[in-house]
Amino acid sequence: MAYKKRLDGRKFDELRPMEAKVGVIKNAAGSAYFKIGKTTAYAAVYGPKDLYPRFLKNPKKGILRCNYNMMPFSGSGDRVRPGPSRRSREISLVTTNALLPVVDLDGVPNSVVDVFIELPQTDAGSRCAGICAASMALADAGIIMKDLVGAISVGIVDGQVLIDLDYPEEAYAEGDVADVPIAYIPSTDEFSLLQMDGKISQKDLIKGLELAKKGANQIIEIQRKALRQKFEVQK
């Protein structure tokens, strides 16, 4: 275990500083802004609304459609070419699946709820930040939800299990790195997003997931607070 101290001085179970705000995009039915470390994400919800083309309509319930996109100037290196990439399309898919278990669209058949996620600045953990913003935005839009969703990454850097990897840790060259982004639903104690890059033992994975639960619960508290704060009346 060579990674004894984190590059930014955090404890192994410490998340980067976070900020959350709800109702930031007036045109949307619901919206939110979520920042973790240097990664920032906006999410806007439009709908439930009528869905075109017709063949996509589901007569039993509404569909959820998430779209993840990095702004061209949000990457830490080269400019990101605008438009959907294979990576962003995959992230859109897993984001939708991360949120689907908690939303109840039975009452709006044949309709669609569109969630747009845009990131102006990224420093690892972008898909998780997007999911956190989307979770708040959906609640803000009045969508019926069993629970909020907390998403965070855990992983291993040179043998050390830790939470919320930043970009320098993801790119750590002096040892093996495993990156495990997850999304967690507290009320049912279930994971709705689970991906992994790198090598990890089963034991460390379970250790990481327990750590992730704690982190996700912390994030959910921040989401709750942001949603309530919207209704604090400014004098």
Instruction: Please report, as ranges, the residues that interact with other proteins according to CB under 8 A.
Output: 24-30, 38, 40, 42, 44, 46-50, 59, 62, 67, 69, 71-79, 82-83, 102, 104, 107-111, 114, 116-118, 120-123, 139-148, 186-188, 220, 223-224, 227-228, 231, 233
| Minimum CB distance to other proteins, residue 190 (Å) | 12
| Minimum CB distance to other proteins, residue 91 (Å) | 15
Nearer to other proteins, 4 or 81 (CB): 81
| Minimum CB distance to other proteins, residue 161 (Å) | 27
What is the SS3 string spanning the chain? CCCCCCCCCCCCCCCCCEEEEECCCCCCCEEEEEEECCEEEEEEEEEEEECCCHHHCCCCCCEEEEEEEECCCCCCCCCCCCCCCHHHHHHHHHHHHHHHHHECCCCCCCEEEEEEEEEEECCCCHHHHHHHHHHHHHHHCCCCECCCCEEEEEEEECCEEEECCCHHHHCCCCCCEEEEEEEEEHHHCEEEEECCECCCCHHHHHHHHHHHHHHHHHHHHHHHHHHHHCCCCCC
Joined tokens for residue 49: 């609304």
Nearer to other proteins, 111 or 160 (CB): 111
- Nearest Cα neighbor of 133 from 149, 154, 157 is 149
Q: How far apart are CA 116 and CA 218, in angstroms?
A: 24
| Minimum CB distance to other proteins, residue 154 (Å) | 21
Nearer to other proteins, 43 or 178 (CB): 43
Nearer to other proteins, 11 or 79 (CB): 79
| Minimum CB distance to other proteins, residue 216 (Å) | 12
Nearer to other proteins, 96 or 223 (CB): 223
Nearer to other proteins, 17 or 142 (CB): 142
| Minimum CB distance to other proteins, residue 159 (Å) | 26
